[in-house]
Amino acid sequence: MHIPDGFLEPKILVSTSIISLAVIFLGLKKLKNIDINRIPLMGVLASFVFVVETIAFPVIGGTSVHLEGVVLTAVLLGPFSSSLIIFCVLFLQALLFQHGGIISLGTNFFNIGIVGSFLGYYIWKIRQTKIFASFATFITTIISAVLCSFELYFSKKLVLSVGLPTMLFSHLIVGIIEAVFVYSILSFIEKISPHILKFEKI
Amino acid sequence: MSRTIIEVKNLSYKYPDGKQALKNISFEIKEEQKVALLGANGSGKTTLLFCLVGLLDYEGTIKIFGQDVKQNAKEIRKNVGFVFENPDDQLFNLTVFDDVAYSLRQQGYKEDYIKIKVREVLEKLEILGYEERQPYHLSYGEKKKVCLATALVNSPKILILDEPTSNLDPASVREFKQMIKNIKTTQIIATHDIRFVKEVCDSVIILKNGEIFSYGDISLLENSEVLFSTRLL
Amino acid sequence: MKHNFIDKYSSLSSLVHKIDTKIKLISFITIAIFVSFFGLSSKILVLLLLFLIFISQLAKIPVLFLLSRIFVILPFVCLISFSYFITKQNFLDVLNVVLKSYTIILSLLILIQTTKFNDLLTTLKSFKFPKFLLLILSFIYRYFFVLTDEVEKMTFAVKLKQQKKLNLKTLTKLVGVLLLRSYNRAEKINKAMILRGADRNL
């Protein structure tokens, strides 16, 4: 979930933002002298993720879900590349759609970008199969939601007895949908254009 | 007597999946020639153009300005303007100015100089005032003009155009024709548009299945058999 | 297809539009940090809000549009309200949070709706924002409309085939095709960049 501004206490904002800054710094360093062909690829894929996240996928009862692409991006390009891409996506979502705050960007990036890109990537890396990618998607979705609840709890805005069940339950459904979706996208790619899966992962 | 500016000898190229795209292609292009590169879809036109600018790992020799393309690609590219078929592939910056200025910025020129050069080329193509416009919001014809501007801003000695008139309405084609005719550089134009070719070019290279089917003066196009067998008619 | 919902009003002309982007950006960041890090009372926040509303009207941003943006924080407001209700805490705290959040959102809107995206990126660059990230951001924006158009064409084609809504199979194909097209496009842009002298030095 993208937490808006005004809901989190300074200590949460600062601690998560420091970690986020460190990861971004590291990512920029790692990607400093990459092949030129990686640059437009990251740019266009970032646009792809941004656009896909605007597609509303209708679920039961008139509600709709927006798909995330974090684990997919990490599986395609690697954790640091994915982090930078997702950071930019989150930044623009906050800036242009007010989906998530600007000051809380560091926190949201921590929950969604770092967890999805790194934890998601390394879970997938165990076997590098579609199943593990789906599993990674599911787990990281749940963990993001749990982190969100804790951050709101430590900001004294939410008690865990309300926060955890709500977040867990809602993200259980989202997590399953996303996991299934990642599986089917990877199947599609394997069938039609498997060579893109061999791209170097940084 | 004009000198040879492009020399291609025994050029061959195989796609990564093994399919032979170009086979044993040889030809020469002289300074200020306007050459049409004709051929059906899939005959290898774009592949040939990419080889000329060193974007693909080909077999054989290509020399431009007397220099081997594989060794001196970077230097050669400073003097070659390339216009892609799809403007969205070429215009990747946020504004027209940024796109046209891109190659100059990459070469490290000062902003003042860049401003002058960009204005110059936009004026030449009658799109002065478009500097702050976003590529997405331009009409297809305007985008094509901007693409041409990005290629011309370097004052290149060779201009390569890949399907310049595809998807353009007849009025825009006419405009484009006029602009191209007024540009004095050596030109290689890959196209299907025979009428365009007859009015603009002086020589043709016709490709069929990755090989040169016919190559020479524009009068070759009067032979309808040639055109039929290469799927140009 | 025109997509002007992103920075709908940034092409208008007003006193606020004319203010240097650097000043607007610094003002926004100052307000956002102040509100996030200092416990401002609801009274002060209301005054600040009134001031911002005044500025927004000088900037000719429609009031209805500004008010509608409060919906982004609604899910979180409901969540914490429920938590406060259960724990019988002071609801005025929730009001304070809403005021904090909306104040920051309003100041962000004033920034975004009076600034061209390109100018914003240029200003960020002058504040030493990492160039690589700015590049990705510009790609996201540049290709957002292009990709959204492609999505629209594809969903239209799906509708023509009389499929009522987006099910998993169609969504997979849609996103899958978009992804592969993105890879193809990136390759072509890569060629365009190389031909125009792109170097590893960004």
CATH number for A110? 1.10.1760.20
Closest residue in chain C to residue B94, using alpha carbons only: C142
Selecting from A44, A57, A92 the residue whose C-beta is nearest the C-beta of C143 gives A44
One-letter amino acid at C139 equals F
Per DSSP, which regions of B103-176 are E strands?
A: 158-162
Write down the pLDDT at residue C8.
Answer: 66
Q: Which of B9, B27, B151 is nearest to B83 (CA)?
A: B151
Asked if pLDDT for residue A171 goes beyond 60, the answer is yes
One-letter amino acid at B225 equals E
Write down the pLDDT at residue C2.
Answer: 42
Q: Do the beta carbons of residue B213 and residue B48 sit within 8 Å?
A: no
- The DSSP letter of residue B136 is G
By DSSP bridging, strand A56-58 and strand A64-66 are antiparallel
Asked if pLDDT for residue C201 goes beyond 60, the answer is no
Asked if pLDDT for residue B82 goes beyond 70, the answer is yes
**What number is the average pLDDT over the span A108-124?**
97
In a domain, A36, yes or no: yes
What residue ranges do the domains of chain B occupy? 86-155
Cβ pairs B/C, distance under 8 A: 62
**Residue of C79, C149, C180 best to disrupt the A interface, most CBs of A under 10 A:** C79
In a domain, A164, yes or no: yes
Residue C3's pLDDT band (cuts 50, 70, 90): very low
CB contact B156 to C (< 8 Å): no
Distance of alpha carbon C58 from alpha carbon C67, whole angstroms: 16
CA distances from C178 to A32, B140, C136, C170 (A): 28, 22, 18, 12
Residue C168's pLDDT band (cuts 50, 70, 90): confident
Give B149: exposed, middle or buried? Use CB within 10 Å, 0-12, 13-18, 19+: buried
Write down the pLDDT at residue A17.
Answer: 97
Average pLDDT, chain B: 91
Selecting from C145, C188, C198 the residue whose C-beta is nearest the C-beta of B84 gives C188
CB C117 to CB B94 under 8 A?
Answer: yes
Contacts of A28 in chain C (CB under 8 A): 130, 132-133
**What number is the average pLDDT over the span B172-190?**
90
Contacts of C69 in chain A (CB under 8 A): 98
Write down the pLDDT at residue A70.
Answer: 96
Residue C5's pLDDT band (cuts 50, 70, 90): low
Can you tell me whether residue B77 is helix, strand or coil? helix
Q: Do the beta carbons of residue C136 and residue A42 sit within 8 Å?
A: yes
Asked if pLDDT for residue B2 goes beyond 60, the answer is yes
In a domain, A2, yes or no: no
Write down the pLDDT at residue C26.
Answer: 97
Q: For C112-133, how does the pLDDT look when each residue is reduced to its tens digit (9 = 90+)?
A: 999 999 999 999 999 999 999 9
**Residue of C131, C195, C201 best to disrupt the B interface, most CBs of B under 10 A:** C195
**What number is the average pLDDT over the span B220-227?**
79
CB contact A66 to C (< 8 Å): no
Quote the crossing angle between the two packed helices C168-195 and A38-52, to the nearest 10°.
150
CB contact B71 to C (< 8 Å): no
C-alpha torsion sign, points B170, B176, B179, B180: negative
Task: Report CA dihedral (B186, B189, B193, B199) to the nearest 10 degrees.
Answer: 0
Selecting from C145, C146, C195 the residue whose C-beta is nearest the C-beta of B82 gives C195
Selecting from C86, C112, C178 the residue whose C-beta is nearest the C-beta of A48 gives C178
CB A47 to CB C143 under 8 A?
Answer: yes
pTM: 0.93
**What number is the average pLDDT over the span C154-158?**
83
CB C108 to CB A95 under 8 A?
Answer: yes
Contacts of C194 in chain B (CB under 8 A): 55, 77
CB C188 to CB B86 under 8 A?
Answer: yes
By DSSP bridging, strand B203-208 and strand B34-39 are parallel
Asked if pLDDT for residue C9 goes beyond 80, the answer is no
In a domain, A89, yes or no: yes
Total of domains in chain A: 1
Contacts of A166 in chain C (CB under 8 A): 79
CB contact A41 to C (< 8 Å): yes
Task: For residue A178, give every residue at least 6 positions away whose Cβ sits within 8 Å of its Cβ, in sequence order, or none.
Answer: A67, A68, A137, A138, A141
CA distance C121 to chain A (A): 11
Q: Give the range of the structural domain holding residue A117, as residue numbers without chain letter.
A: 10-198
CA distance C194 to chain B (A): 8
What secondary structure does DSSP assign to A122-174, as a single string? HHHHTT-SHHHHHHHHHHHHHHHHHHHHHHHHHTTS--HHHHHHHHHHHHHHH
List of chains touching C (3+ CB pairs within 8 A) = A, B
Asked if pLDDT for residue B41 goes beyond 90, the answer is no
